[in-house]
């Protein structure tokens, strides 16, 4: 399979980077082709501008959007790896979704309602957050974040969510706990695709 990993963390020494490296190694070990789009390294412009929408309406996508859409078109599976900030996506990734998952590319409207234009692709989301997972589970935050990302983004455009991993208490754990999380990443990408 062709895998696209959209990665959004600004620090090269983050646990998110370890997750990314683990996922890439596990997928490549199984013979999958992997492309990583590191949004911070690319200095991706997250702001959807009036010029962007005017160009898209005229049928001429800005080059940076067209480039990212080509990676999505070519992918069989799309994985988002990012930290939870303020119970949601970092701005750079939210802007990626705003600009790249555009009307006419990722979805459209028709007589039957919303047309999901990315149907047939699989999706995985891997998140980290500092809050303990049991607290997010108890207050409904985990379920809320699954709904907004798995359903509100992936399912809305037809991407089948195969899993959504949440790793809590990041920054407060010992090495054994982090290794266990990385093993879960490895097992997930090795068995879900």
- Alpha-carbon distance of 28 to 114, in angstroms, equals 35
* Total tally of structural domains belonging to the chain: 1
Boundaries of domain holding 74: 2-190
Predicted local confidence at residue 158, as pLDDT: 98
Strands 160-167 and 107-110 come out as unpaired
Q: How far is CA 167 from the centre of its chain?
A: 15
Closest CA to 113 of 146, 53, 158: 158
**What is the model's pTM?**
0.97
pLDDT tens for 54-99 read 999 999 999 999 999 999 999 999 999 999 999 999 999 999 999 9
Q: Indicate the pairing of strand 160-167 with strand 122-128.
A: parallel
**What's the whole-number mean pLDDT along residues 98-116?**
96
Tokens for 77, please give them.
């599976």
Element housing 101 (H / E)? none
Domain harbouring 135, CATH code = 3.40.50.360
**Residues whose CB is less than 8 angstroms from the CB of residue 49 and which lie 6 or more positions away in sequence, other chains included:** none
Partnered with residue 127 across adjacent β-strands are 82, 166
What per-residue confidence (pLDDT) applies to 19?
A: 98
């Amino acid at each position: 399979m062709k895998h696209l990993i959209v990665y959004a963390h600004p620090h090269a020494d983050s646990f998110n980077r370890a997750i990314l490296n683990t996922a890439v190694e596990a997928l490549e070990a199984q013979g999958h082709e992997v492309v990583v789009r590191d949004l911070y390294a690319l200095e991706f412009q997250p702001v959807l501008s009036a010029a962007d929408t005017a160009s898209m309406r005229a049928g001429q996508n800005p080059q940076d959007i067209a480039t990212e859409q080509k990676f999505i078109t070519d992918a069989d599976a799309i994985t988002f790896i990012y930290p939870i900030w303020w119970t949601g996506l970092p701005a750079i990734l939210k802007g990626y979704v705003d600009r790249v998952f555009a009307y006419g590319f990722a979805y459209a409207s028709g007589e039957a309602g919303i047309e999901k234009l990315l149907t047939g692709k699989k999706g995985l989301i891997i998140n980290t957050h500092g809050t303990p997972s049991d607290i997010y589970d108890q207050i409904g935050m985990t379920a809320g974040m699954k709904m907004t990302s798995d359903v509100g983004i992936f399912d809305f455009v037809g991407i089948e969510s195969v899993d959504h991993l949440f790793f809590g208490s990041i920054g407060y754990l010992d090495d054994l706990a982090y290794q266990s999380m990385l093993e879960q990443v490895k097992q997930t990408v090795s068995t879900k695709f």
